Structure 1
Amino acid sequence: MRTPGILIFGMVLAPCGWILNLTSTVAPNWRTIHSLANEPTDLVVEQGIWDICRTSTTSRSQQCNQQSNDQTYFSNQIIPIAKGMMVASLIVTVVGLAVATPGVRCWKDRPRWILASLGGLLIFCSGALTIIPIAWYTHLLTSLNSTSVKRDPARADDIRAGYCIILGYIGGILEVLGGFVIFMSTACSAARGSCLNCQVTCESCEQCHEVCCSKNQGCCSKYLPFSLKLWL
């Protein structure tokens, strides 16, 4: 029996989101600070949740491992919270994929709906674990304390969101969407039941959804929600 396409769609979104979240977690670019007082005009300070880097836009040189010079920044409440939630999100995603994979792969006559649903729920939660700290950090973007940089008071737009914020939002949304698709498709299919008899008639499709016999997909599809029709 082939894996339903809607489940494949969800299983593809989850690892894509995981890769983006991993990049967002480890890269030191949650915010960038420009126009620093008493500093060269081409200097840009990039701050993440693990490290701080000083970059020159003209020479392309970069100095990282600056976290020891600014403990004030890393003592902001959001930083340790973001570290914990982002790492937890990566772990939960891996666990969710490990649980969902044997459920949607259909090693037997039908998917293991309980495993697939549980995996989808875990992936959905991992996406939420990513979006929450990133949204919180974005809200506090311009108010985070930092002693390693001295901003020019004449410039109000010198603090900007880094690319990690964008990657984190996209990765979190992909995981939420992937987990939701997996959970809802498996939950709905499990509730309707899976017909193992490929001679099922159209009259019985109201009580039983056939996923292994293509000749019945036309008559059964009218009883399914729109999201499940994507794989037909």
Structure 2
Amino acid sequence: MQTPASMVMGIVFAPLGLVLVFTAAITPQWREGQAHLAVSGPGSILRSGLRPHGLGVRPGALEALLLIRSDGLWESCLQMAPPELKHCWPVSGAYQKDPRVRLAQGLTLTSLFLCGTGIVLACIGVRCWKDLPLRGVAAAGGLLMVLASLLSLTALSVYSYNISRLGLQDHTYNKQSQLSLRPAGAMYFAWLGSCLQMLGGVALMFSLKRTKCPTCPACPELPACPAGTCPENNKASMHIYEVSC
């Protein structure tokens, strides 16, 4: 069987998009911010007793340090330099309870499930080991991929629109550090993966349309030429398999 180009696009783009979205979902790099903090002197972060989770810095050792805060859907990280110290922990507090974060988590998980199911259906529908594909099954898999893409794009839109307001009431050192949060690398991977899922799903949906079989001038009422009856297509039975629909 000669697999249609639309099916090839679907079974290539969709798994790649699924991998990118899954990688972004488990990475604590949806948003990040940097700030320079005063370690010594009046009003410093150490004098005020606001020590970051699990990171110990001796008073008087440094004059200033760089604070890097990053958050994901299920994990947050805090890095200080110098010295190079990094600590990660599961999301908690107001950030974890924020309904917009919970919405993004639910939409992302549902998107991954739908895309995985769509890929399974697409593999069953393409049936490269058979002469004829199951076009309806492949198109159903493409529809699930499109829905998965829409869900992940919705999650990304909600998160990016509220990125500077998610759980900040629990950010105890935000007022002193003036930490400005912006989209991080994982979100760009998720955007790319969602677009690839959309392309793969649309390509598989287009494969639902049957290709037109060539007709024989000698017998135009037939969808394909019987073997040996048409001078133009007298190529034995192998040609019949190529034009079968």
CA, structure 1 residues 33+100, in 2 after alignment: closer, same or farther (shift >3 Å)?
same
Alpha-carbon distance, 1:14 to partner: 0.3
Q: Hey, which of these two has a bigger chunk of helix by percent?
A: 1
Q: Cα deviation per residue 1:156-175 (whole Å; 9 max; x = unaligned)?
A: x8211011211111110100
Residue 165 in structure 1 maps to residue 180 in structure 2:
no
Cα distance in structure 2, aligned partners of 1:92 and 1:203: 49
Give 2:208's aligned residue.
187
State the secondary structure of the residue aligned to 1:188: coil
Q: Point out where structure 1 has 5 or more consecutive residues left out of the alignment.
A: 218-232
Residue 143 in structure 1 maps to residue 155 in structure 2:
no
CA, structure 1 residues 47+112, in 2 after alignment: closer, same or farther (shift >3 Å)?
same
Task: State the TM-score, normalized to the length of structure 1.
Answer: 0.76
Which structure has the larger Rg over C-alpha atoms?
A: 2
The within-5 A match list for 1:1-232 is 1-35=1-35, 38=44, 41-65=65-89, 67-68=91-92, 71-146=93-168, 147-151=170-174, 158-184=180-206, 186-189=207-210, 195=213, 200-201=215-216
Give 1:222's aligned residue.
none
Task: State the TM-score, normalized to the length of structure 2.
Answer: 0.72
Cα distance in structure 2, aligned partners of 1:85 and 1:110: 35
Does the Cα contact within 8 Å between 2:24 and 2:190 map onto a contact in 1? yes
Q: Hey, which of these two has a bigger chunk of strand by percent?
A: 2
Does the Cα contact within 8 Å between 2:110 and 2:151 map onto a contact in 1? yes
The ranges of structure 1 where at least 4 consecutive aligned residues each deviate by more than 2 angstroms after the TM superposition are 36-41, 56-61, 105-109, 148-155, 199-205
CA, structure 1 residues 201+22, in 2 after alignment: closer, same or farther (shift >3 Å)?
same
State the secondary structure of the residue aligned to 1:159: strand
Cα distance in structure 2, aligned partners of 1:73 and 1:213: 63
Moved more, 124-133 or 48-57: 48-57
Cα distance in structure 2, aligned partners of 1:54 and 1:80: 21
CA, structure 1 residues 66+115, in 2 after alignment: closer, same or farther (shift >3 Å)?
closer
Q: Cα deviation per residue 1:189-220 (whole Å; 9 max; x = unaligned)?
A: 2xx56x4xxx7438999x969xx959x99xxx
Alpha-carbon distance, 1:9 to partner: 1.4
CA RMSD of aligned residues (A): 3.1
State the secondary structure of the residue aligned to 2:77: strand
Identical columns (%): 24
Aligned partner letter, 2:18: W
Does the Cα contact within 8 Å between 2:125 and 2:135 map onto a contact in 1? yes
Q: Cα deviation per residue 1:18-52 (whole Å; 9 max; x = unaligned)?
A: 01100111111111022166555411011111111
Count of matched residue pairs: 204
CA, structure 1 residues 7+87, in 2 after alignment: closer, same or farther (shift >3 Å)?
same
Cα distance in structure 2, aligned partners of 1:75 and 1:110: 50
Does the Cα contact within 8 Å between 1:30 and 1:162 map onto a contact in 2? yes
Cα distance in structure 1, aligned partners of 2:118 and 2:25: 19
CA, structure 1 residues 62+109, in 2 after alignment: closer, same or farther (shift >3 Å)?
same
